[in-house]
Amino acid sequence: MVKLIVGKKGTGKTKKLISLANDAVESSKGIVVVIEKGSKLTYDVTHKARLIDTEQYAVSGYDSFFGFLSGLCACNYDVTDVLVDSTFKIGGQNIDEFSEFIEKINGLAAKTDTQFTFLVSADESDLPASLAAVAEKV
C-alpha cells in the first residue's frame, strides 16, 4: 500500500513521519526503514528503525529512487514499512514523473507486501486526481 502525506513546507509533515515511524517499529514484526536526504532525523527516529540517507548512495531522480527501493525490498524480505522524507528533494519536482513513480511503487508494494509512505511538499490541489486517493493532508 502507498500513502502520501501532503502539505506545504512547515505544516508538520516530518513530525508526523517521525511519529508514524516510531509507531511502526512498535507494531511491526519486521523491519521499518526511514529514508531521508541528509541526516536530520538521526536523533528523532528510534534506533530500532533502519535510517538511510540517500546522499550516501547517490540516489537522485525517480528512476534511481525506484531502483533503490526495489533493491531494498529484494535484499530483505522482512521490510514491512518504508517511510520517506523529502520525496521531491530526492526524486525531483516533476509531477508527471512523480505520478509514474507512485504507480510503479504501487506494484512494488503489492509484490512485497510493504507499506510505503512518502512526504510530499505540495498542496493537495497541485497533485493529479490519480494521487488524490492515496493523499492525506497534514
pLDDT over threshold 80, residue 48 = yes
C-alpha separations of 71 from 2, 30, 35, 67 in Å = 17, 17, 14, 6
pLDDT over threshold 80, residue 133 = no
Distance CA 116, CA 106 (A): 9
Three cell numbers, residue 76: 530483505
Q: Please report which confidence band the pLDDT of residue 46 belongs to, taking 50, 70 and 90 as the band edges.
A: confident
For 89, the domain range is 2-137
Q: How many domains does the chain have?
A: 1
Q: Please report which confidence band the pLDDT of residue 59 belongs to, taking 50, 70 and 90 as the band edges.
A: very high
In this prediction, residues 9-15 reach a mean pLDDT of 88
Please say whether the beta carbons of 70 and 108 come within 8 A. Answer: yes
Which distant-in-sequence residues (6+ apart) come within 8 Å of 67 by Cβ?
Answer: none
Q: What CATH code is carried by the domain that includes residue 102?
A: 3.40.50.300
Three cell numbers, residue 80: 514491512
Burial class (CB in 10 A: 0-12, 13-18, 19+), 27: exposed
- Look up the pTM and report it: 0.92
pLDDT tens sequence across 79-106: 999 999 989 999 999 999 999 999 999 9
Q: Is the dihedral of CA 42, 10, 130, 18 positive or negative?
A: positive
Three cell numbers, residue 86: 523529502
pLDDT, the chain, mean: 91
